[in-house]
Amino acid sequence: MRIGVPLETRPGETRVAATAETVKKLVAGKHSIVVQTGAGVAASQPDAVYTAAGASIGSAADALGADLVLKVRLPSGEELAQMKKGAALLGLLEPFNAEGIAAINAAGLTAFALEAAPRTTRAQSMDVLSSQANIAGYKAVLLAAGIQDGRGEENHRSPCTIIHPHS
C-alpha cells in the first residue's frame, strides 16, 4: 500500500502524522511511504531521517495522492481536492465537525477519526488523546525546569540552579 504523510498546513501546527520510527515499521511491513518535503521539520524530523527509514520524499500532491493519507488534523478543502476517490484518511478529523465530515464524504474518502477510538485498556495503543496529554505533561515539566526551550532544544541549564534574591 502507498501511504502518504503530508505537511500539516494549519497555522501553529507543528506535529507530523508519522515519525521516522513509525515509517521504519511501515516500510518493514512492505508499504511504500511518501513524505512531503519538510513535513516533519517543525517536529524535529528532517527529510533525511525519513529517507534513512526507507521513505521517499515528494510533493504535496504525491503525499496526498496516496492510498492511505496520514494527517494530524482535518485536511483543508485544497488538500481534499488532491486526494483520490476511494483513498483512506487517518488522523484527528474532528468527527463532530459536520462541515468537515461532509467535505470528506464529498471527496469520496474513507475516514478514520482517531479521537473517536475507544479510550479503553484494550485500545490504549491507539488512544491519541491520552498520548497528547502525556506529552504535554512531560513538556511542561521540562519547560518549567528550564531543560528545554519552547522549540524542544536543550538549553543546558541545570534545573537545580540556586537563585539568590537581591538585597
d(CA 21, CA 2): 17
Beta carbons of 91 and 70 less than 8 angstroms apart: yes
d(CA 125, CA 111): 19
Beta carbons of 100 and 74 less than 8 angstroms apart: yes
Q: Tell me which CATH homologous superfamily contains domain 2-116.
A: NAD(P)-binding Rossmann-like Domain (3.40.50.720)
3-state secondary structure of 5: strand
d(CA 108, CA 84): 8
Give residue 150's pLDDT: 53
Q: Where in the chain is the domain with CATH 3.40.50.720?
A: 2-116
DSSP string covering 9-61: -STT----S--HHHHHHHHHTT-EEEEETTTTGGGT--HHHHHHTT-EEE-HH
Taking only the tens of pLDDT, the chain with its 167 residues reads 999 999 999 999 999 999 999 999 999 999 999 999 999 999 999 999 999 999 999 999 999 999 999 999 999 999 999 999 999 999 999 999 999 999 999 999 999 998 877 666 665 555 566 656 666 676 677 667 776 555 555 555 555 555 556 64
Model-wide pTM > 0.75: yes
